[in-house]
Amino acid sequence: MSRAFNFCAGPAALPEPVLAQAQADLMDWQGKGLSVMEMSHRSDEFVSIAQRAERTLRELMGISDDYAVLFMQGGASTQFATIPLNLLGGHDCADYVNTGIWSKKAIAEAKRYTRVNVVASTEADNFTRCPDQSELKLNPEAGYVHYTPNETIGGLEYDYIPDVGDVPLVADLSSTILSRPQDINRFGLIYAGAQKNIGPAGLTLVLVRRDLMGRTRPELPTMMDYSVADKHDSMYNTPPTFAWYLAGLVFDWVQQQGGVQAMGELNRRKAERLYGAIDSSDFYGNPIQPRFRSWMNVPFTLADERLNSAFLAGAEERGLLSLQGHRSVGGMRASIYNAMPEAGVEALVAYMETFEKEKA
């Protein structure tokens, strides 16, 4: 068996030991004679799997009891609507920061429910940077402030957590969760689709400060209500059990690697190596201001874009998969989440150097 290096932005590569464990458990989980996929979500077995996953995540991220940890469905995109419907309460507006495609989608959806103040946007700079704290024109009356710490498509990542005073800060951590240490207590709500750093698609993680529950709008669907999910331990209906179990295996793996501290060090090294290779050549380019370059998603262009398909074909031959940039921006993108080993980045850099020598 040979495994490729998969640079897909999501669904993304999973750690090999996690896949091996899932394979070993598939026909017969811990001698019970069935797979996790086939278990009742109400069974003692699955409840123990679910609780263990939550416990490990709380340890990894340092999440206190002030926060509920919810295992939801519908992807991060459903949260774009779920958040305003849960958090606005009596407020008639929310603050949003615009740093690219994912912030824009969150803004468009929120506009269906409330007045949106775009409190800063770096669109005039083609989203090559995040705004500075001093640029945020915050409204003390806003129900919450939403931002996207890492723009998966643009390859843009904040190097600070905005200070928003007493207004709750809401963060779309879909592509950076568990990638480095973060002070959870700065946030009112964090959400993330699972399919990058957590596990398979189908599961959405939401961490919400408990004092923010109960600010719901009457039209909020029951399935989207954080307090209902919390009260029912994220099992108001049938949850995506297999994805939840796999997320638990990923959390165990992160812990075995040394937790988010170790992940942060590994991710910094990987990113420095890849951006270093891009910057040391005129053949490759990345437009993002160095301070705001994403550790997780590294877009890059070839000086001569007529070579794009040859680059991709050669990469695939070497087992370097899914390097094509997002359809909206073109070029290349290497997503190097937690599960991408340094060897994968080394293989990519070696290929980039070889390709440049052949074509330049």
238 is in an annotated binding site: yes
- Classified as helix, coil or strand, 335 is strand
176 is in an annotated binding site: no
Q: How far apart are CA 57 and CA 75, in angstroms?
A: 19
Per CB under 6 A, 179 contacts ligand PMP: no
How far is CA 355 from each of CA 99, 197, 315, 358, 360, rounded to the nearest angstrom? 32, 30, 9, 5, 8
Max Cα-Cα span within the chain? 63
Per CB under 6 A, 174 contacts ligand PMP: yes
In the residue annotation, 270 being an active-site residue is answered as: no
- Classified as helix, coil or strand, 230 is helix
Q: How far apart are CA 165 and CA 95, in angstroms?
A: 13
Compare residues 10 and 168 and give the one whose CB is closer to ligand PMP.
Answer: 10
Compare residues 214 and 221 and give the one whose CB is closer to ligand PMP.
Answer: 221
Restricting to residues 51-110, which ones interact with ligand PMP according to CB under 6 A? 75-77, 102
In the residue annotation, 359 being an active-site residue is answered as: no
Q: How many Cβ atoms sit within 10 Å of the Cβ of residue 236?
A: 15
Q: Which region, judged by CB under 6 A, interacts with ligand PMP, from 54-62, 170-178, 230-238, 351-359?
A: 170-178
Compare residues 22 and 206 and give the one whose CB is closer to ligand PMP.
Answer: 206
Residue from 95, 104, 172, 270 carrying the catalytic annotation: 172
Judged by CB under 6 A, which of 98, 117, 121, 152 binds ligand PMP? 152
Count residues binding ligand PMP (CB under 6 A): 11
| Tokens 């090999």, located at residue | 16
Two structure tokens written together for 63: 């999440």
Per CB under 6 A, 172 contacts ligand PMP: yes
In the residue annotation, 357 being an active-site residue is answered as: no
Contacts of 114 (CB under 8 A, 6+ apart): 84, 88, 91, 92, 93, 94, 143
253 is in an annotated binding site: no
Residue from 196, 225, 252, 270 carrying the catalytic annotation: 196
Two structure tokens written together for 336: 């190097």
Q: How far apart are CA 151 and CA 149, in angstroms?
A: 7
Compare residues 288 and 302 and give the one whose CB is closer to ligand PMP.
Answer: 288
Q: How far apart are CA 214 and CA 71, in angstroms?
A: 18
Q: Which region, judged by CB under 6 A, interacts with ligand PMP, from 47-55, 171-179, 220-228, 342-350?
A: 171-179
Give the pairing type, strands 297-302 and 284-285.
Answer: antiparallel
Compare residues 208 and 352 and give the one whose CB is closer to ligand PMP.
Answer: 208
106 is in an annotated binding site: no
* Site of interaction with ligand PMP (CB under 6 A): 10, 75-77, 102, 148, 152, 172, 174-175, 193
Q: Please state the residue numbers annotated as binding site.
A: 42, 76-77, 102, 152, 172, 195, 237-238
Residues recognised as catalytic: 102, 172, 196
